[in-house]
Chains A and B, each alone.
Chain A
């Protein structure tokens, strides 16, 4: 769906228009659910995160402003934040482990093969390419899965300090590159 439509739907929905809200949901829920379930690895928790996102939008408490970037990117940001909050809460209560229904078979998405192609994304990917392979991988693991430094370090078998500095350097490089563009 074109960005201009989402922007309009967001505005109209936040003013209480049920039809626009439904259209917004139809247009974006699969994307948001994908984000949430990859981080939370459980359908029920992902539903909670996505529900919270839409309720925030409906209640107008999360007013979208053009300065926030693309409407979809902004919605994803809300869902990611909510998902990571739920994930951290869950890992804090590890004494009471969840059973059974965890989804494990996620592979790390390859953003360069994505069908999405907004101008913002193209600029972002052009800069992401400049990062060394390790930095890139660490940043993507953190972004798609919401992993902590420690979890990434365990995943890539590297010391936490190394992962931290790779991510820091990667982020700073990304910002420099994007502000040049």
Chain B
């Protein structure tokens, strides 16, 4: 369509003379073509003073109540959901805190083990520009390491290696990331007790957030994972994702 026609089409859309099919076409164009959207906005603005001259109408008194009811309805929907999620986060954090108290003595040892574990994988000094690597020792309440999780910042992929986690029959282990920003725990997926597993970090995880500290936790869920992506089961292993080299 020639430039001139686009301009007229935008003007006719703004004025409102397009029939249903043409209007649908213009709407589609407006949603996908920034230039066309800009043109329609300019025409709408040009015509908008005329809106002041439209004689007022007799508003039915019931209209405000209808609008208010809609607002209430939406608020209770989103508010309820927010409450539910935040309760769940609280429960998970409480569970993590309890675990942390029990495993306090193991923390320093865990970091040392992590260094030993991955020491062999560290690049030589000449390659120190390589992307940062992170590791977490996920331990249970007796200080036993259930899993070791590592990740390199360049590929944002978690490598999960089972250490002493028992193989489960009717349940599944599910790995969660809990960021410091207070958002709900994010599921990273189910982890088995086979050789090792690799999983991509969800796009919601901002690499910058990793520096602020991320708790990883493994919960015990019904076979197949937490229903609706919300953890129901107890946390059995947890640990902080720490940067391997300063």
Taking Cβ atoms with an 8 Å cutoff, the residues of A that contact B are 22, 25, 29-31, 33-38, 43, 46-47, 50-51, 54-55, 58-59, 67-70, 72-77, 80-81, 84-85, 88-89, 91-92, 109, 111, 114, 116, 118, 120-121, 123-125, 139, 142-144, 146-150, 152, 167-168, 171-172, 174-175, 178
Contacts and interface: CB of A to CB of B under 8 A. Distances in A.
Contacts of A74: 45, 48
Contacts of B15: 139, 142-143, 167, 171
Given A51-B70, A58-B71, A31 B56 contact: yes
Given A51-B67, A88-B19, 10 more contacts: A33-B56, A37-B57, A70-B49, A73-B52, A77-B45, A85-B23, A111-B53, A143-B50, A171-B8, A178-B46
A88 B20 contact: yes
Contact of A123 (B16, B49, B57, B67): B49
B46 A147 contact: no
A70 B57 contact: no
Given A30-B56, A123-B49, A55 B67 contact: yes
A175 B8 CA distance: 12
Interface in B40-80: 41, 43-60, 63-64, 66-67, 70-71, 74
Contacts of A152: 17
A76 B51 contact: yes
A160 B126 CA distance: 77
Nearest to B66: A51
Contact of B54 (A38, A142, A172): A38
24 contacts: A30-B57, A33-B56, A33-B58, A35-B57, A50-B59, A67-B45, A70-B48, A73-B45, A77-B48, A77-B51, A81-B16, A88-B19, A111-B50, A114-B53, A116-B52, A120-B48, A142-B16, A147-B16, A148-B17, A149-B19, A150-B19, A167-B17, A171-B15, A172-B11
Nearest to B18: A148
A150 B12 CA distance: 13
B66 to A, nearest CB: 6
A70 B52 contact: yes
Task: Please give me the 3 A-B residue pairs with the lowest Cβ-Cβ distance, nearest first.
Answer: A76-B51, A73-B48, A34-B57
A34 B60 CA distance: 11
A142 B52 contact: no
A121 B49 contact: yes
Contacts of B55: 34, 38, 109
Contact of A43 (B8, B44, B60): B60
A27 to B, nearest CB: 11
B58 to A, nearest CB: 7
The secondary-structure label for the interface of chain A is: helix
A50 B53 contact: no
A67 B42 CA distance: 9
B18 A34 contact: no
Contacts of A171: 8, 11-12, 15, 43
Given A25-B64, A25-B67, A33 B17 contact: no
Nearest to A140: B50
Nearest to A29: B59
B45 A68 contact: yes
A12 B143 CA distance: 53
A114 to B, nearest CB: 4
Contacts of A47: 60, 63, 66
Contacts of B47: 77, 143
Contacts of A85: 23
Interface in B1-47: 8, 11-12, 15-20, 23, 41, 43-47
